[in-house]
Amino acid sequence: MLIDTYGRVATDLRVSLTDRCNLRCTYCMPEEGLRWLAKPDLLTDDEIVRLIRIAVTELGVTEVRFTGGEPLLRPGLVGIVERCAALEPRPRMSLTTNGIGLKRTATALKAAGLDRVNVSLDTLRPDVFKTLTRRDRHQDVLDGMAAAREAGLTPVKVNAVLMPGLNEDEAPDLLAWAIEQGYELRFIEQMPLDAQHGWKRDGMITAGDILESLRTRFDLAPEGAGERGSAPAERWTVDGGPHTVGVIASVTRPFCRACDRTRLTADGQVRTCLFATEETDLRAALRSDAGDEAVAELWRKAMWGKKAGSGLDDPGFLQPDRPMSAIGG
């Protein structure tokens, strides 16, 4: 098991397949992009599958989420999914994507064994999308989501971040649209993981703001007596159900005490937390011919040192050097 000193057990593995992205969201990276990881530094497909196999068969991981950057930019993605689907026990597998490229790949991903997708979409307005992402690809994202739904990668979850002066007024419209389309919408508070280090707590739209805005049009009731376990989203039933909306209050109501995550970067580093400032190098172990048990032991040791939480409220909080695009969400 991957257990830490606080008794938390990590069963949910996030695997970043690339740090590259085909959008340039203003809250994530600068217009010119970032210095990408060099190809030789990236894990190969075989190395990724081996690490996932070790996680699933030796370390108790039951959920695997592929992230990026943008994971659909990884040429070997379908093959990786297919090989992971053949593992015993078979992990549940999902993908967090910006949706561009899903139209082309959704059917193959489903056939390979992917269970579902989370697509990021912050706005229904093509002009706002273009300002926010610096790319004119709004329709591609909508098409990608529809393709995922048709392929059975369901429930299709939509992740939205609201930002002041840009899309802060869109919460009710996004929810009405998601219900109509049969998607599960979740709002996520913006976190300080941007490459530009421009995040400001007093500039963010909070879960409280989002709920207030939604309540101007919908009746919301907490689902399951407000229990969320290790799930980051607090879910609300909309207008008596059956539709729901999730709010992930990563900053104002963190869920670190129930965290069940472990993360692997595209260059083979274990991160115990989104905000970890230390990493454990599994790629070096793989490339020096370490056996499965030695790799598993390194991973266990890394997780044992996991901190209590994000540290966002600590006076000395330091944003990690790696931006979100190189960690994976």
CB of 14: closest distance to ligand SF4 in angstroms? 9
- Using the contact rule CB under 6 A, the part of the chain among 52-60, 79-87, 95-103, 255-263 near ligand SF4 is 255-263
Positions 267 through 286 that interact with ligand SF4 (CB under 6 A):
273-275
255 binds ligand SF4 (CB under 6 A): yes
Q: Closer to ligand SF4 at the Cβ: 70 or 189?
A: 189
Among 256, 282, 302, 326, binds ligand SF4 (CB under 6 A): 256
CB of 197: closest distance to ligand SF4 in angstroms? 17
- The site that binds ligand SF4 (CB under 6 A) totals a number of residues, namely 10
CB of 192: closest distance to ligand SF4 in angstroms? 11
Q: Closer to ligand SF4 at the Cβ: 113 or 328?
A: 328
207 binds ligand SF4 (CB under 6 A): no
φ/ψ bin of 241: left (φ > 0), alpha (ψ from -120 to 50), beta (otherwise): left
- The binding site for [4Fe-4S] cluster comprises 21, 25, 28, 256, 259, 273
- Using the contact rule CB under 6 A, the part of the chain among 26-34, 44-52, 141-149, 253-261 near ligand SF4 is 253-261
Among 49, 106, 259, 296, binds ligand SF4 (CB under 6 A): 259
- The DSSP string of 266-316 is TTSEEESSTT-S--EEHHHHHHTT--HHHHHHHHHHHHHT--SS--TTSTT
CB of 127: closest distance to ligand SF4 in angstroms? 33
Question: Which residue from 190, 171, 196 is spatially nearest to 249, judged by alpha carbons?
Answer: 190
Question: Which residue from 124, 221, 107, 106 is spatially nearest to 171, judged by alpha carbons?
Answer: 124
Distances (CA, A) of 198 to 1, 250, 311: 37, 17, 18
* Helix ranges, the chain (H): 45-58, 77-85, 102-112, 126-133, 138-151, 171-181, 207-214, 282-287, 292-304, 324-327
Question: Which residue from 88, 37, 8 is spatially nearest to 261, judged by alpha carbons?
Answer: 8
Which spans of this chain sit near ligand SF4 (rule: CB under 6 A)? 254-256, 259, 261, 273-275, 309-310
